[in-house]
């Protein structure tokens, strides 16, 4: 029994101990996640503000410095060496090293390090080699001012932070995902960072924007200093090779040629764009050829590539760094200011150490000279003890050391005793004096640098730019992007059908009436016999309301499409007429256009894409003493108002029927079109230069530097090349004057011509290899000034002014023209044209309706207020 009791007591004690241990484990567990999160944030994912390195990057750079002997080292060897400091696997170290090497700044690489353009990975670490670049050796290391700490196992010392004297974090960029925290600092241009640092040191304002190694085009309008909430848009650089081929020469950051081509093929499979085939000719530079089927617009396809593929993407920066073991959210401007100020502090520390070393060297050189020149070493010959030797030297130095800058210490005297006899016997007093003077000059120079530290730092940055800035010019072109509306550029990849009686629309109703081709992202507008209107998304089958009278693809903010409608307010009620536009609404909401009476009915309806106003005949039922049972109604007499307006009263009697008598003509004024050279696109919003007012058949005249002349419709989707030199409204009767250099004849020729084939591109200059376009004028009566080359030893020939109209008549577009002069020409300049009164165009007297505007992608637009007043009785 006693043994059993003892056993029970022991089991109880064990149980209590196990409960205590469970409580302790639980207590530990509560802190484990926080410890893990802190570790990931501080030791893995986020760079330090002081040097711009993550721990693994810092340890790689430290290992490269320890291994540095000027020759290449196998990356596998560097990785193994780094594992002495970094307690993780070799794969993560190798990946981090490859990323540093691909940025082409700190590591001089040899072998296959991968390709950021194609996405190809690097070869295995045992096959590739690396060494520190000259830039890294100059900027990253300074052991005397480096703070050191023990490595994870206590066997080695590693730097707490490397003394980086350059805004390296902004030059390389950084990206990392930690626990509940991330960072995304975009790379910036090397030379621009140096210029910004110099401006900061001078107290001037500066702005820096990202620059990507993949080049491309970027819109930094919303960069927001690289902080949370900012966004930049990046695009591939796409140009037209010919009418059936596009070429991509630069790609957006974050993509490669493989992923870019995959996104284009996916968009093609989904029917967003149409592509015949894609060729990837990328090697040292990107070249992707996109071949288009016949009849597909290259300009529209470029927009579609931006809208539906990885040719355009958005990058959201997030400036997060580590400072004092805590995350810090700051913008790139403050990062650069802190880095620059830190560089100044590091330069100061280096100068102070240098000054201390120079003064110490001067001090001992002076002592050595005194010791040898005054033969103090002879006074120790009689001394028998070490202390006696020290005292003898000390006593011998005292008469000569008043000019020294510090006291002579016992260590100084001991050091004098270590001078070899050979050095004493070969001591050259003049050389010793020259050494001391050179040290004094260097001390004075160092003190001057310390007193003028900012100027010294500016000179340091300028020297960095001079030595390492060549070939590091900006790669990414900064532009303001035009907004692309997906519904305007998407390929119509499906067909829309309608069942009018039952009230269904959709893409799957193939047995019913075909309406139009559409895309799967289009909105559809529908009107019913009851006077109801609704806009809804394209779908396989949607119920919108019985007795559909009109269905079409809807364009938001379209102020040119005008709807003409005559409706009966209720059974036996009055009849009204109205004209209106539909520019915005809420999707899937039913709008009552003929009043809210259940018996309202639409008697006549037409949709007119250019504001046409037809004439209809209204016929009444015979009732009572009505004298006039039939008359014509002209919609051009009805003002265009809001869709919610009641309209004008047609008649209070019952209408028998309404018939179309005469088709309408447009009641819209010619639309005004502007050219915005910021985005190189046309617009109707008043941005840029006004090109004129365009009617339906008016064309634009385009001439480029290669001498290509063409006329094109003023399509808002058209893209214009940078080498365009003439863009204006084309007047078929106005001659074009061109001065071109004919290479074979080595002479300038002048020609005048009219565009003979409006729909054809034509080269209007000589097509020899040395020929080029010198000057083009679209004035009615141009004047040009010719400046001649001065002959050797003679006065220059006076300038010749040429009246182009008198010099040559209008000839065919392919004519070579007349030779301007046989003398050597220095310059040809256009002068003010002679006066000419252009024939005036007949102005439109009808109402003006603004053309379709650029719009956003929001599903729900704010509905405009509608005018429901001013009703006028017609009959």
Q: Among 273-287, 372-386, 647-661, which is the least confidently predicted range?
A: 372-386
**Mean predicted confidence (pLDDT) in 342-362:** 93
pLDDT at 584 over 80: yes
Q: What is 817-839 written as a DSSP string?
A: -EE--SS-EEEEEEEPPPP--PP
pLDDT at 848 over 50: no
Closest CA to 435 of 349, 358, 339, 356: 358
Tell me how far apart the alpha carbons of residues 36 and 769 are, in angstroms, rounded to a whole number.
68
Burial zone of 470 (CB within 10 Å; 0-12 exposed, 13-18 middle, 19+ buried): exposed
Q: Is the overall model pTM greater than 0.95, yes or no?
A: no
Find where tokens 């941005």 sit.
687
The residue ranking higher by pLDDT, 493 or 607, is 607
Listed as own residue / partner, the contacts of 401-409 with beta carbons closer than 8 Å and 24 or more positions apart are 401/367, 401/370, 403/366, 404/363, 404/366, 404/367, 405/359, 405/362, 405/363, 406/363, 408/367
Confidence of residue 695 (pLDDT cuts 50, 70, 90): confident
User: How many CB atoms within 10 Å of residue 616?
Assistant: 21
- The pLDDT value recorded for residue 844 is 44
Name the token pair of 137.
């050796």
User: How many CB atoms within 10 Å of residue 150?
Assistant: 10
Tell me how far apart the alpha carbons of residues 312 and 6 are, in angstroms, rounded to a whole number.
79
pLDDT at 302 over 50: yes
Q: What is 605-644 written as a DSSP string?
A: EEEETT-EEEEEEEEEPP-TT----EEEEEGGGSPEE-TT
Torsion angle, alpha carbons of 280, 286, 291, 295, to 10: 170
What single-letter DSSP state applies at residue 285?
S
Tell me how far apart the alpha carbons of residues 46 and 694 are, in angstroms, rounded to a whole number.
57
H or E stretch including 658?
Answer: strand 655-666
The residue ranking higher by pLDDT, 763 or 395, is 763
User: How many CB atoms within 10 Å of residue 413?
Assistant: 19
The residue ranking higher by pLDDT, 873 or 366, is 366
* 127 given a catalytic annotation: yes
- The pLDDT value recorded for residue 26 is 63
Percent of the chain residues topping a pLDDT of 70: 92
The per-residue pLDDT of the chain, averaged, comes to 87
Tell me the per-residue pLDDT of 99-113, one tens digit each, with 9 for 90 and over. 999 999 999 999 999
Distance of CA 201 to the CA centre of its chain: 28
Is 666 in a helix, a strand, or coil?
strand
What single-letter DSSP state applies at residue 210?
B
Burial zone of 406 (CB within 10 Å; 0-12 exposed, 13-18 middle, 19+ buried): exposed
Confidence of residue 671 (pLDDT cuts 50, 70, 90): confident
Tell me how far apart the alpha carbons of residues 297 and 717 are, in angstroms, rounded to a whole number.
10
What single-letter DSSP state applies at residue 790?
P
Confidence of residue 431 (pLDDT cuts 50, 70, 90): confident
Tell me how far apart the alpha carbons of residues 107 and 18 are, in angstroms, rounded to a whole number.
55
Write out the E strands in 531-573.
532-537, 542-543, 548-554, 562-568
Find where tokens 């790139």 sit.
332
What single-letter DSSP state applies at residue 171?
H
**Mean predicted confidence (pLDDT) in 529-541:** 94
Range of 295-299, 414-418, 463-467, 664-668 with top mean pLDDT = 463-467
Tell me how far apart the alpha carbons of residues 759 and 659 are, in angstroms, rounded to a whole number.
40
- The pLDDT value recorded for residue 852 is 35
Confidence of residue 840 (pLDDT cuts 50, 70, 90): low
Cβ(494)–Cβ(517) under 8 Å? Answer: yes
- The pLDDT value recorded for residue 7 is 41
Encode 421-469 in three state secondary structure. Answer: HHHHHCCCHHHHHHHHHHHHHHHHHHHHHHHCHHHHHHHHHHHHHHHHC
Longest dimension (CA), the chain: 156
pLDDT at 623 over 80: no
**Angle (CA) 479 481 484, round 5°:** 165
Q: What is 133-159 written as a DSSP string?
A: -HHHHHHT--GGG-EEEE-TTSSSEEE
- The pLDDT value recorded for residue 11 is 47
Tell me how far apart the alpha carbons of residues 475 and 188 are, in angstroms, rounded to a whole number.
10
Cβ(567)–Cβ(603) under 8 Å? Answer: yes
Catalytic residue among 36, 39, 127, 152: 127
Residues facing 278 on adjacent strands: 290
Q: Among 249-263, 653-667, 805-819, 850-864, which is the least confidently predicted range?
A: 850-864
**Mean predicted confidence (pLDDT) in 797-801:** 90
Tell me the per-residue pLDDT of 60-84, one tens digit each, with 9 for 90 and over. 999 999 999 999 999 999 999 999 9
Tell me the per-residue pLDDT of 194-246, one tens digit each, with 9 for 90 and over. 999 999 999 999 999 999 999 999 999 999 999 999 999 999 999 988 888 99
**Mean predicted confidence (pLDDT) in 46-72:** 93
Cβ(271)–Cβ(491) under 8 Å? Answer: yes
Strands 245-250 and 237-242: antiparallel
pLDDT at 738 over 90: yes
């Amino acid at each position: 029994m006693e043994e059993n009791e003892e056993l029970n007591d022991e089991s109880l004690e064990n149980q209590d101990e196990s409960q205590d241990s469970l409580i302790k484990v639980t207590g530990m567990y509560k802190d484990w996640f926080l410890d893990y999160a802190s570790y990931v944030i501080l030791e893995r994912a986020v760079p330090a503000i002081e040097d711009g390195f993550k721990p693994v990057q810092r340890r790689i750079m430290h290992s490269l410095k320890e291994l540095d002997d000027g020759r290449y080292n196998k990356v596998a060897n560097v990785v193994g060496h780094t594992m002495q400091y970094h307690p993780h696997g070799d794969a993560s170290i190798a990946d981090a090293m490859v990323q540093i090497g691909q940025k082409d700044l700190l590591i001089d690489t040899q072998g296959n390090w991968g390709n950021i353009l194609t996405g190809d990975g690097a070869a295995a670490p045992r096959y590739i080699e690396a060494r520190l670049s000259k830039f890294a050796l100059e900027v990253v290391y300074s052991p005397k001012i480096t703070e050191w700490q023990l490595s994870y196992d206590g066997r080695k010392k590693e730097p707490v932070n490397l003394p980086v004297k350059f805004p390296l974090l902004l030059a390389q960029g950084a990206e990392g995902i930690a626990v509940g925290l991330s960072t995304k600092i975009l790379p910036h241009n090397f030379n621009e960072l140096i210029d910004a640092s110099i401006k900061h040191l001078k107290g001037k304002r500066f702005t820096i924007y990202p620059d990507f190694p993949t080049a491309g085009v970027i819109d930094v309008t919303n960069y927001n200093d690289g902080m949370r909430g900012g966004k930049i848009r990046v695009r591939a650089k796409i140009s037209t090779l010919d009418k059936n081929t596009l070429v991509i020469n630069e790609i957006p950051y974050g993509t490669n040629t493989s992923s870019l081509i995959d996104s284009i093929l996916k968009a093609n499979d989904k029917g967003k764009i149409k592509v015949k085939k894609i060729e990837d000719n990328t090697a040292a530079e990107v070249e992707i050829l996109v071949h288009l089927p016949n009849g597909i617009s290259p300009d529209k396809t470029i927009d579609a590539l931006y809208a539906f593929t990885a040719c355009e993407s958005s990058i959201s920066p997030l400036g997060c760094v580590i400072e004092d073991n805590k995350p810090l959210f700051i913008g790139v401007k403050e990062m650069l200011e802190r880095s620059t100020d830190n560089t100044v502090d590091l330069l100061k520390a280096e100068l102070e150490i240098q000054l201390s070393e120079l003064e110490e060297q001067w001090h001992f050189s002076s002592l050595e000279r005194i010791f040898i020149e005054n033969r103090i070493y002879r006074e120790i010959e009689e001394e028998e003890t070490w202390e006696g030797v020290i005292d003898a030297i000390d006593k011998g130095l005292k008469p000569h050391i008043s000019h020294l800058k510090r006291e002579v210490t016992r260590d100084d005297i001991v050091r004098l005793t270590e001078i070899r006899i050979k050095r004493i016997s070969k001591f050259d007093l003049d050389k010793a004096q020259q050494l001391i003077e050179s040290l004094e000059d260097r001390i004075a120079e160092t003190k001057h640098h310390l007193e003028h530290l900012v100027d010294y730092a500016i000179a340091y940055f300028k020297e960095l730019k001079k030595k390492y800035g060549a070939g590091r010019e900006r790669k990414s072109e900064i532009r303001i992007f035009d907004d692309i509306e997906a519904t305007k550029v998407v390929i119509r990849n499906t067909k829309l059908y309608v069942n009018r009686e039952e009230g269904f629309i959709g893409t799957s109703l193939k047995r019913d009436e075909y309406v139009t081709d559409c895309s799967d992202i289009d909105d559809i507008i529908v009107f019913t016999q009851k006077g109801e209107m609704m806009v809804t998304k394209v779908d396989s089958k949607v119920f919108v309301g019985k007795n559909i009278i009109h269905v079409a693809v809807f364009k938001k903010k379209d102020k040119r499409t005008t709807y003409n409608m005559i409706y009966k307010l209720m059974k036996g009620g009055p009849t009204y007429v109205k004209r209106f536009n539909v520019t915005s609404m809420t999707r899937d909401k039913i709008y009552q256009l003929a009043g809210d009476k259940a018996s309202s009915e639409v008697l006549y309806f037409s949709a007119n894409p250019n504001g046409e106003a037809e004439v209809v005949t209204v016929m009444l039922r015979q009732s009572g003493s009505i004298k006039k049972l039939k008359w014509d109604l002209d919609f051009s007499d009805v003002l265009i108002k809001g869709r919610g307006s009641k309209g004008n009263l047609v008649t209070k009697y019952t209408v028998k029927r309404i018939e179309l008598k005469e088709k309408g003509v447009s009641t819209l004024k010619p639309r005004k079109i502007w050219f915005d050279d910021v985005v190189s696109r046309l617009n109707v919003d008043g941005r840029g230069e006004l090109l004129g007012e365009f009617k339906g058949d008016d064309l634009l005249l385009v001439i480029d530097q290669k001498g290509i002349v063409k006329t094109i419709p003023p399509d808002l989707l058209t893209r214009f090349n940078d080498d365009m030199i003439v863009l204006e409204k084309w007047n078929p009767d106005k001659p074009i004057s061109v001065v071109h250099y004919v290479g074979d004849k080595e002479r300038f020729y002048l020609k005048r011509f009219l565009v003979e084939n409006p729909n054809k591109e034509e080269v209007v200059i000589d097509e020899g290899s040395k020929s080029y376009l010198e000057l083009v004028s679209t004035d009615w009566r141009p004047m040009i000034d010719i400046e001649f080359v001065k002959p050797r030893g003679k006065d220059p020939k006076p300038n010749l002014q040429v009246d182009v109209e008198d010099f040559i008549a209008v000839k065919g577009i392919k004519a070579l023209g007349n030779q301007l002069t046989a003398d050597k020409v220095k310059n040809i300049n256009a002068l003010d044209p002679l006066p000419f009164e252009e024939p005036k165009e007949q102005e439109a007297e009808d109402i003006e309706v603004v053309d379709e505007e650029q719009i956003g992608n929001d599903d729900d637009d704010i509905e405009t207020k509608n005018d429901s007043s001013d009703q006028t009785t017609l009959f």
